[in-house]
Structure 1
């Protein structure tokens, strides 16, 4: 009987402790990828990967382009509206374009995928977002380190032949 009383008192005290958290009634929306990606990003590193050579295990399959062709001054800015919805993007710096230097953007998903599949950043030439010009893969999501990695993959006949890996850091 004594064990039952002690058990009952322990359960009541656990319930009382668990209910001390005050609910202020405010709901906070989760942080979207739009919010994490928006802003200006500077290039830390740019690698070109020969996907055919990589698949055939032929070296060299990668080349660092970071210090070539003025890529050291590459910047990209992703803009959002007052509701954190994607609007325009712009690449600055005197660099050879690997994709359109300005336009509009959207994401394939507002959140990271549970299945590990990369979220896509779709690039468009029109504000209605009907004329897609390119697609970037979000390989590394910005977090506390304020870094992001984007992949641009070029495909011919359904086979990837070259990709570009942009490692970026936030410009404050």
Structure 2
């Protein structure tokens, strides 16, 4: 009986709180990943993973590449237009390219996937986005922490043999 009273009071409290919020009728578009990715991103860390070694429990299977080959200078800019649609990307810094240093981009989805699957970043050489040059995975979506993680996977015969994990933070 006591639990029913507490339950009833909780429901009434929720109804009372909900009734105090006036609905002004305005609509706001949901925030897309494009909006979150827009801007410059600096490298926090870059790890190379030997996928064969990892699958076979051979150590070391992972190496921090951030201090090698000037990768501490790595920055990437993702640009969007006024409608928050993707336009160009550009890798900045004197770094060896792991993927094309500039071009055009789009996402496999403007929103995070409900099944937890990573959103893909498709890279293109042309503005019409017909000539795909590479594919990245958006492992960690930028949010209030202004950090994101990208993964580049290299395959041979459909089997991953090495991957690169870029941890990035927003550059003001």
> What TM-score do the two structures reach when normalised by structure 2?
0.90
The alpha-carbon distance between structure 1 residues 19 and 134, as it changes in their structure 2 partners (threshold 3 A), is same
Deviation for aligned residue 1:63: 0.9
Deviation for aligned residue 1:14: 8.1
Deviation for aligned residue 1:17: 6.3
Is residue 122 from structure 1 mapped to residue 157 from structure 2 by the alignment?
A: no
> What TM-score do the two structures reach when normalised by structure 1?
0.90
- Counterpart residue number, 1:51: 51
Gaps of 5+ in 2: 1-10
- Counterpart residue number, 1:28: 28
**Tell me, what secondary structure is at the counterpart of 1:117?**
coil
- Counterpart residue number, 1:39: 39
- Counterpart residue number, 2:110: 110
For 2:159 and 2:104, locate their aligned partners in 1 and report how far apart those are by CA, in whole Å: 27
**Tell me, what secondary structure is at the counterpart of 2:36?**
helix
Deviation for aligned residue 1:24: 1.3
The alpha-carbon distance between structure 1 residues 30 and 62, as it changes in their structure 2 partners (threshold 3 A), is same
**Tell me, what secondary structure is at the counterpart of 1:36?**
helix
Q: 1:17-71: per-residue Cα shift (whole Å, max 9, x none)?
A: 6433221111011110000111100000000000001001001111111000000
- Counterpart residue number, 1:171: 171
Moved more, 61-70 or 15-24: 15-24
For 1:109 and 1:87, locate their aligned partners in 2 and report how far apart those are by CA, in whole Å: 15
Q: 1:75-98: per-residue Cα shift (whole Å, max 9, x none)?
A: 000000000000000000000000
**Residues matched between the structures, number:** 162
**Tell me, what secondary structure is at the counterpart of 2:103?**
strand
Q: 1:88-143: per-residue Cα shift (whole Å, max 9, x none)?
A: 00000000000000000000001000001000000000000000000010000111
For 2:18 and 2:102, locate their aligned partners in 1 and report how far apart those are by CA, in whole Å: 52
For 2:86 and 2:101, locate their aligned partners in 1 and report how far apart those are by CA, in whole Å: 16
The higher radius of gyration belongs to 1
Q: 1:134-170: per-residue Cα shift (whole Å, max 9, x none)?
A: 0010000111110000000001101000000000000
Is residue 135 from structure 1 mapped to residue 126 from structure 2 by the alignment?
A: no
